[in-house]
Structure 1
């Protein structure tokens, strides 16, 4: 008869797994993926290295799971911001502002999520992440074009352009950010919002 874990045993295992991911998240925010070695994660979680491997068979598996857990929170925050305003253009602007403010609040984490060199498994997840943001923007742009509150345009194309613009302005090589401690200034979110509204075709979208 196969062994079945009791609820108490499963809860302990889940708690240890969550502790490993929590330690990895802290390291990711401080040092990026380069610092998220299995040994470093184990040390941060105060467990043996072998205990990490019980839950994640390789660094790549741990990195993918880590990326998914962090990105899910980011996408949820941006999606919630996009859905609050009644006006579609204001919804897209709110999503962009939220994206920017969260990136500026943790620039090392933003660099890790958007641009740090990673292995192919994490790079594939990164593409899923960028598409998720694009789809959040595109849904509100499509709503605006359908209702006539925004000029006719390709929602997916405009949304993809906005995702690329945000990433470049916040952590790309043209932004002046180092990906570590320096980054764009405090007025960057307002500038990105103004840029977004102009890109959507909103009349009189003045510079902040």
Structure 2
């Protein structure tokens, strides 16, 4: 007779997996990838290291999944901010303010997401992360170009350039743990000029 797991066992396994991922996210925010060993994660989660390995074969798989979970929340936050924006200009501002603002509130975690050197599995997730933000910006730009509100341009190329620029500007402040007060306003002005929209100084 084949062994069947009971619903209670499945629920406990799922709860353990969620706890392990939550702890990994906490350690990422505190120490970056270096502090996220299987032993450290297991100790904080209150489980044996073997329990972690039941869900994640190795550290790379654990970190890649934790990365996906964290990024999903970040992408959703930016997408919701854009949906609430009344026009393309406000949409671009919402992207920068939400993305950069959330990053600067959790600089160690954001640095891990954006720039900290890590293995290939997480690098692949990092690329998907950037593409997800690019697609959000590209949709805003595409609609604005179609309505004649912005000069003709390739929305995907412009969006990729903006996401890259914002990430590059943030790397230094995130590594240092703080940013100048004018960092986000300057980023917003740059992005508006780059897409051909008015900003406060250059209509």
Same fold (TM over 0.5): yes
Q: Is the 8 A contact 2:189 2:199 kept in 1?
A: no
Write the deviation string for residues 140-166 of structure 1: whole angstroms up to 9, x where unpaired: 000000011111111011101110111
TM-score when normalising by structure 2: 0.94
Partner of 1:92 in structure 2? 92
What is the CA deviation profile of residues 23-67 of structure 1, one whole-angstrom value per residue up to 9, with x for unaligned ones?
100000000111110011011112111111111111111011111
**Corresponding position of 2:132:** 132
Matches within 5 A, 1:40-51: 40-51=40-51
Structure 1 outlier segments of 4+, above 3 Å: none
In 2, Cα distance between the equivalents of 1:73 and 1:105?
A: 15
Residue equivalent to 2:141: 141
The alignment's TM-score, normalised by the length of structure 1, stands at 0.92
- 2:201 equivalent to 1:202: no
Aligned to 2:20: 20
Q: Please say if residues 170 and 183 of structure 1, whose CA atoms lie closer than 8 Å, have aligned partners that are also in contact.
A: no
Q: 2:16, 2:72 → 1: CA distance?
A: 20
Consecutive unaligned residues of structure 1, counting only runs of 5 or more, are: none
Q: Offset at 1:178?
A: 6.0
Please give the alpha-carbon distance, in whole angstroms, between the structure 2 residues aligned to 1:137 and 1:90: 11
Aligned to 2:6: 6
Report the counterpart of residue 187 of structure 2 in structure 1: 192
Which of 178, 184, 196 is 1:183 aligned to? 178
Matches of 2:77 and 2:119 in 1, distance apart? 26
8 Å Cα contact 1:197-1:205 kept in structure 2: no
Q: Call closer, same or farther: CA 1:35–1:96 in 2, change over 3 Å.
A: same
Name the residue aligned to 1:74. 74
1:116 counterpart residue number: 116
Q: Partners of 2:64 and 2:4 in 1: how far apart?
A: 27
**Structure 2, unpaired ranges of 5+:** none
C-alpha displacement at 1:86, in angstroms? 2.1
CA distance in structure 2 between the partners assigned to 1:83 and 1:190 by the alignment: 21
Residues 162-197 of structure 1, C-alpha deviations (whole Å, 9 max, x = no match): 1011111111xxx3x362x53322332222112111
